[in-house]
Amino acid sequence: MGKRLRGSKPICSCVSPRTSNLLSLSSFSCYEEDIWTEIAKYLDGRSLLMLAATCKWFYRLVMEDSVWKFACLRDLEAPDPGDASSKWIKLYASAFDGSHSYLFRQQEKHIDWMRIGAFSLDSSAALLADNLTCPKRIPQEDTTEKMLQSSGLCVLTDIKTGIWIADLQLVRCPVCDLNTCDGTMQTLDARHIELFLSKGYQDGSWDYTSLGSHETRKCADGACAAIIDLKHIQDTSTAELFATKSWVGKVNDWQPKAKITFHAVAVCTNLQENEGLHVKYHVMRAGADGKIMSIRISQQLL
C-alpha cells in the first residue's frame, strides 16, 4: 500500500512576525527563514501542509519548490533526477495520495494493489524479464517480439530517464475461459514519476500498446517479473534481485514478494500446481513517437 504518514502533534497557529518583535531579538529570530526551511525538511507531506495553514509567512516558506523536492526524494528514497517539468508538490501528491494507474482507467478490472517503491532509470535502456535468473547474454533478436518469444527477455530503448514508481497490481483477466485459470492476473506496473501529471495521460490520448508475449507450457514455480536499468545490470545492488533465496517467499508462502534496488525492481509470487504461464508486455509512450513513460509486465495462468 502507499506509505503511511507518520503521526504528528497539532501545530499551534501563529501570526506574521512584527518588526518590533524582530528588533527585540538579539541573536535568534523564531521566523528565521533558513532555520525553518531546514526544519521543514524533517516533516512529512501532511505536516508540511499543516504548517503552511498556520499563517501567510509559513505558507510562503513551505510552498518553496525546494522543500517539496527534498521531501519527495526523501520519502521515495530516490536520488536527485535533476530538473522536473512539474512542481514538486504535485509530484509528491501524485506519489503519495494513494493513486495508481488502474484508478484512472479500467477500475472495473482492478482488485487490489501494493506499492513497491521507487527506483531510478539513469539510461534510456532497460531489460525486461519474466524470470529472476541473471541473463548470460543480452538478447539480440531483430525485434522485441522475437526477443520475448524466445527467452521472455527484451531490451527497451527510448525510456524516459528519472524516477520510476513501481506497484504490484492484481487485476481480472481481460479474457479468460480457461478452466485452469482462477480469473486473476498479476501485473508489475511501473511508471515515470511525471506520468500522472502529463496532459496526454490525463485526457486519455496516451494508451498502452503491446510489445509481445511469452508462454511457458510447463508448471511454473512462480510468477516473476523484473525491470532493470541496462547501464547498471552488473551493479552489486542489482545482483540482489537474482539472489532470490534472500527475499522470495518460502514454499507454500503464497503472498507476493518484491525487491527494489537503486536501479531495478522485481516481483515474485509462488504458484500452486499449474500448466504454465502466459506473460504479456505493454508500454505507454508520450505520444506516438515519444519516450516510454510506463511499463507493464502481466502474468496469467494457462
pLDDT tens for each residue of 131-159? 999 888 887 777 888 888 888 899 999 99
d(CA 152, CA 150): 6
d(CA 122, CA 193): 14
Dihedral of CA atoms 244, 249, 250, 251 in degrees, nearest 10, equals -110
Read off the pLDDT band of 118 (50, 70, 90): very high
The residue among 167, 211, 193 whose CA lies nearest residue 293 is 193
Phi, psi of 126 (to 5 degrees): -140, 150
Three-state secondary-structure class, residue 83: coil
pLDDT tens for each residue of 71-109? 999 999 998 998 888 999 999 999 999 999 998 888 888
Mean pLDDT of 268-281: 92
pLDDT tens for each residue of 146-196? 888 888 899 999 999 999 999 999 998 765 544 445 568 899 999 999 999
Cβ–Cβ contacts within 10 Å for residue 231, how many? 15
pLDDT tens for each residue of 54-78? 999 999 999 999 999 999 999 999 9
Phi, psi of 143 (to 5 degrees): -125, 160
Domains of the chain in start order, with CATH, are: 19-95 (1.20.1280.50), 100-301 (no CATH)
Q: Which residue type is seen at 275? A: E
